[in-house]
A and B are shown apart, each in its own frame.
Chain A
């Protein structure tokens, strides 16, 4: 019995701590729950009152039914609040994507590690001739699957500031004023809670054009342009100014070579195939040609990159 109680207590502790952590990492959660909670209280009161009022409103026993009523003004408030929930969801999504990928670090790691090329190595050995023609398609599919697995939408997440601005444009000026009033009231009621202030700051920062550039570099890598060029064609492959092209070319060169494993599996260590010309990297992304020692952390993005919440700290 004692063991069960201890296990139960442990489970509750773990559950509450995980829920607490989830809320801690959530930008809009506290504000949203506050608004939802207020709504729930108001709904319950209004529902009760209407039920009671309906018992006296018809007044005479010869009236059997209350005539249908039109939409009440209260519904307008709930409708506005629903649009705020949609906006908050958008803010939360943009925030979480920007927080994870906005600094460009993930894109750098991905460009350095080249998992899509390593994963083709066994295929090169098994079906060398056929796979050389398929690797472009495979690479694209690999990235599509990766983006999908990361719950990202390439069309919408490629420009986070545009996505946020689009969500903000759905609200009228009056709605935005109400939304800001809600945020101000939340801050006044709970001075120790910064979430409302953070939401306001994030809206201001996130709606700028330069926001989330790292995500756009990650979601729209330049190699996709390769689709129009057959990689099996040596001339075209040489013209490709894609950082992946060289590695891919090397991978396809030796179909059954055992050296391939060594060459391809150690690009991060020696980066031998790459040259400075082959890596026209974006400004805010560290060039992959540079060697990164194992014990040295990755470079921080350049000052132009938006770093709102000091993610690197």
Chain B
């Protein structure tokens, strides 16, 4: 009996020490994680020109009553330049030169558009916007909006995830996916998905590289009383690659 007491005490001491270690590990992990939290935001330098290359590869296939038609992938590569003019009222004033056409846009730090005078009368696309707070790795961020065309409004959203951060290179890897619910009925079935990733250069405040794929499928059906026939099926795939080529001051 006398010999058992020190054994219990020893065990308790061991348990307390291991708990301390676990708490310390947890705290250090939290501290480390806090240290890797990043703020992803654009930081164009006024007067600088950012040259990008965009490659899109598209392929498609269709089926008409069991007869297949397909088109082999074709690629289009184009270069464009983003010239930063100024930073005013929380937005960068930039001129985007694309195929001898210039588009002026006011881009906020998080990537949203606050104005596009060169595209007046047009519906400006729904672009990805980054969170305006310190972003933790593996933390999700969602942006939603209603996209309207005519009298029809479609819910759309961007799901973003900060996948990793390289503190040495100051590169953040962000995964993204689009949520888009296209209108369907009993004769028309549709699917759309868009997924990709971004390598964001936090030091330069620009997208270094990005790639994403879109897939769209459309089924057209005829239905008369009990007879249902799939008439046409169309599938389209496009992959995009965006690459920063040069920054000219």
Contacts and interface: CB of A to CB of B under 8 A. Distances in A.
Given A49-B218, A56-B194, A72 B60 contact: yes
8 shortest A-B CB distances, which residue pairs?
A73-B60, A64-B103, A73-B62, A70-B74, A64-B96, A181-B65, A76-B69, A61-B127
Given A58-B125, A65-B101, A77-B234, 8 more contacts: A42-B188, A57-B214, A60-B127, A62-B50, A63-B54, A73-B61, A77-B62, A77-B69
Interface in B168-190: 176, 178, 180, 182-183, 187-188, 190
A73 B69 contact: yes
A311 interface: no
Contacts of B82: 62
A60 B210 CA distance: 10
Chain A contact surface mostly: helix
Interface residues of A, number: 43
A59 B96 contact: no
Interface in A25-79: 38, 41-42, 45-46, 48-49, 51-74, 76-77
Contacts of A190: 224
A55 B192 CA distance: 13
Nearest to B62: A73
A219 to B, nearest CB: 38
Interface string B65-104: 1110111001011101010000000000010101101010
Interface centre among B52, B69, B113, B178, by most chain A C-beta atoms within 10 angstroms, is B69
Contacts, number: 164
Nearest to A68: B76
A177 interface: yes
Contacts of A1: none
Interface stretch (B15-23, B26-34, B146-154): B146-154
A42 B80 contact: no
Given A58-B125, A69-B76, A64 B105 contact: yes
B56 A49 contact: no
Nearest to A63: B54
A46 B242 contact: no
B60 A74 contact: yes
26 contacts: A41-B187, A42-B232, A48-B149, A49-B192, A49-B218, A52-B156, A53-B216, A55-B125, A55-B126, A56-B126, A58-B125, A59-B127, A59-B128, A59-B178, A59-B194, A59-B210, A61-B127, A62-B50, A62-B107, A67-B77, A70-B71, A73-B69, A73-B70, A74-B60, A80-B64, A189-B222
A77 B105 contact: no
B238 interface: yes
A190 B220 CA distance: 17
Contacts of A38: 220, 222, 231
Nearest to A182: B65
B135 interface: no
Given A38-B220, A52-B154, A69 B176 contact: no
A9 interface: no
A257 interface: no
Contacts of A51: 149
Interface string B181-218: 01100011010101010000000000100101010101
Contact of A67 (B56, B125, B154): B56
Interface centre among A48, A56, A58, A181, by most chain B C-beta atoms within 10 angstroms, is A56
Contacts of A178: 64-65, 67
Contact of A64 (B61, B80, B183, B236): B80
A185 B67 contact: no
B12 to A, nearest CB: 58
A174 interface: yes
A77 B242 CA distance: 32
B65 A60 contact: no
Contacts of B229: 185, 188-189
A184 to B, nearest CB: 9
Contacts of A62: 50, 52, 82, 94, 96, 107, 207
A56 B231 contact: no
Contacts of B65: 178, 181-182, 185
Nearest to A178: B67
B182 A49 contact: yes
B111 interface: yes
Nearest to A50: B216
Contacts of B132: none
B196 to A, nearest CB: 7
Given A77-B62, A174-B67, A189 B224 contact: yes
B134 interface: no
Nearest to A65: B98
Interface in B101-124: 101, 103, 105, 107, 111-113, 123
